[in-house]
Chain A
Amino acid sequence: MSDEPKSCSTRSNAEPTAARSHLPMWILVLMLALLYLGGIYFDRHSGWFDKQVYSPYANAAELESYQPKSGAAALLAQSKKTYEFVCGVCHGTDGLGKPGQFPPLAGSEWVNAKDYKRLAQIPLEGLGGTVHVKGQEWNASMAAMGAGLSDADLAAVLTYVRSSWGNQAGAVAADDVKLVRATVAGKPAINGEPQLKTIPE
C-alpha cells in the first residue's frame, strides 16, 4: 500500500463549468414551425382583440357581413327613421299628435281605413281646412310632406303608420303609391273634409 492517492484534490474543488455547443438546427426549425402555427391560430381565433368580435366570428369584417340587411325588421327600422324625420315632428314619435295643433295618427279612422288611397293622397298632395279625427275637429294645414319621398319610402312609412301604436290596417305597396302619385300630379292641396271624402277610399 505504498501508492499514494493521486492528487485529485485540486480537480474536485474546482468550479464545474458547462460545456457550450451550438443550438441544434431541429430545435430552431421546430420553434419557427410552432410560431407559424401560432400565428395562424391567432389570426383565426383572436378576433384581433376586437371587443365586439366573439367566438364563431373570425374578425370584424366577417361580423359586419352577417348583420341583417334585408327583411321586415330592417325595413321597419328604416321606415321608423323616415317617419320620425318627416312626420314625427308634428304627429309625434308616439303617433299621438299635439293636442289642439296636429291630429293623432294612432287610432285615427283615416289611417285605419280599409284602403290606402285616401290616406296616401294626404302626404302626396297636402291637406288644408277642417277635418274630424277621433271625434275632434282639427283646423291645420299640412304641406305635401310625402311628395319628396320615393314610392318605396312613402309606402314603407304608410305601412309603419298603419301598423304601429295599436293601428292594425294593412300594408301599402310601392306600386300602390305610384298609382296614387300619378292621379294627384299637379293638383292643389285637398281642401278640408268634404273634398277628402270625395276621394274613393
Chain B
Amino acid sequence: MKNGFVIFLAAFAVLASSWGAFVLAPQLQLGGAKQVSVLNSSDVYPLNRPGEANQGLRIYRANGCAACHTEQVQQAGFACDVVLTAAGKNPTVISNLISTLKLRGLNEREAEAAANKITTAGGKVETHIVATGPDISRGWGLRHSVAEDFLYDSPVQLGSIRVGPDLADVGARLPDMNWQLLHLYAPQNVVKDSAMPPFRYLFETKKIGDAPSRDALNLPKEFAPAAGYEVVPKAEAKQLVAYLLSLHTDVPLYDAPFTPPQVSTNAPANKQ
C-alpha cells in the first residue's frame, strides 16, 4: 500500500476527533456535575434515592420499562404570564387597563412592559414563568429535563419510545403508592384502555391466614383472586414503586426556571 501511513493518520484523526467530541467534551462539561440549589430556596436537588428506590431502578431496568417509557421531558418554549395580585385603590381603572392588555404567553420584555403599565396605574403584579410545549401540556412535567435529574441514576433510563407516558415526573404526578401497585398488577383496572401488560409476577397470590394482610391489594371483582385468597406485592413490586415515586422533577432550577404553580410558605410540610 503506497500511502499506508497517511491513511493510518487520517483514520486516527477521524476516530480521535469523534472520541474527543462525544466522550471527552461531555466528560469535561458534565463529568463533575453536583447537586444544585433549587431556585429561590435553600434546598438542594436532586437528593439521593433511598435504598429501596435504588433497588427499584434495577427492577425497572430488568423489566424493560424503558422500552415503552421515557424519562425525558422536552420543552418547546417558555412564556411569561403577568398575574394581578392586588388591584390597589382604583379597581375599575385596573380592570379597564387589563382588558386592553395581553397578559399571557408573553416574552420577557412584553411582560415587563405590561407589568410596568399596571404598577404605574396602582396595581400589584407578579410575573410567572411557565414552560410550554406538548410534553408540558400533557402534564408530564413542569420543565424540561436537565442533566442533574439523572445524577443518581446508574444506568440512566432515558428511553426512546413512548408507548406509555413519560415517567420523569411520575412521583409528583401520581404520588399514591396504592395506585401504583394496583396499576402494576392490573393496569386496565385504573387506566381503562391502557396498553400496558400486567406485571403479576411481582405479586403473590396466597391464601388468607388468620386475618387479611395489611399490604393486600384492594381489587375489584373482575381482577380479584378466588375467595379466600389475597394478592400481596412482593419486595420487587414495592421497590419498583419506591423508585417510581422517587422520580420528581417538579422543582425550578437555574437551568430550567419556572414559577411553581403554588407557593407555600410552610415549605417543610411539603417535603417527602
B128–A63 CB distance below 8 A = no
A77–B41 CB distance below 8 A = yes
Asked if A51 meets B30 with Cβ closer than 8 Å, knowing A56-B76, A56-B144, A65-B108, the reply is yes
Number of interface residues of B (CB under 8 A): 37
Q: How far is the CB of A11 from chain B (nearest CB, A)?
A: 23
Residues in B neighbouring A164, C-beta threshold 8 A = 265-266
A91 within 8 A of B: no
Contact of A76 among B126, B133, B263 (CB under 8 A): B263
B105 within 8 A of A: no
Query: Which of B50-58, B201-209, B216-224, B249-257 faces chain A?
Result: B249-257
The CA-CA distance from A149 to B178 in the complex, in Å, is 50
The CA-CA distance from A29 to B139 in the complex, in Å, is 48
A24 within 8 A of B: no
A55–B75 CB distance below 8 A = yes
Asked if A53 meets B39 with Cβ closer than 8 Å, knowing A66-B108, A71-B127, A76-B263, the reply is no
Closest chain A residue to B75, Cβ basis: A56
Residues in A neighbouring B133, C-beta threshold 8 A = 56
Contact of A68 among B40, B74, B147, B265 (CB under 8 A): B40
The CA-CA distance from A53 to B126 in the complex, in Å, is 25
Contact of A73 among B30, B259, B266 (CB under 8 A): B259
By size class, the interface of chain A is 20 to 34
Asked if A76 meets B108 with Cβ closer than 8 Å, knowing A54-B256, A66-B78, the reply is no
Q: How far is the CB of B265 from chain A (nearest CB, A)?
A: 4
B255–A68 CB distance below 8 A = no
The CA-CA distance from A54 to B253 in the complex, in Å, is 12
Chain A residues 128-171 with CB under 8 Å of chain B are 160, 163-166, 168
Q: Hey, what's the 0/1 contact readout for A60-72 against B, CB within 8 Å counting as 1?
A: 0001011111111
Closest chain B residue to A69, Cβ basis: B127
Closest chain B residue to A71, Cβ basis: B126
Asked if A71 meets B128 with Cβ closer than 8 Å, knowing A54-B256, A55-B74, A56-B77, the reply is yes
The CA-CA distance from A166 to B266 in the complex, in Å, is 7
Question: Which of A49, A53, A68, A77 has the most C-beta atoms of chain B within 10 angstroms of its own C-beta?
Answer: A68
B225 within 8 A of A: no
A-B contacts, 10 of them at CB < 8 A, read A54-B75, A55-B144, A56-B144, A67-B254, A68-B258, A71-B127, A71-B128, A71-B263, A74-B40, A80-B42
Residue ranges of A at the interface with B (Cβ–Cβ < 8 Å):
49, 51-57, 63, 65-74, 76-77, 80, 160, 163-166, 168
List the 5 shortest-distance A-B pairs measured between CB atoms, nearest first.
A163-B265, A77-B40, A71-B126, A52-B255, A73-B40
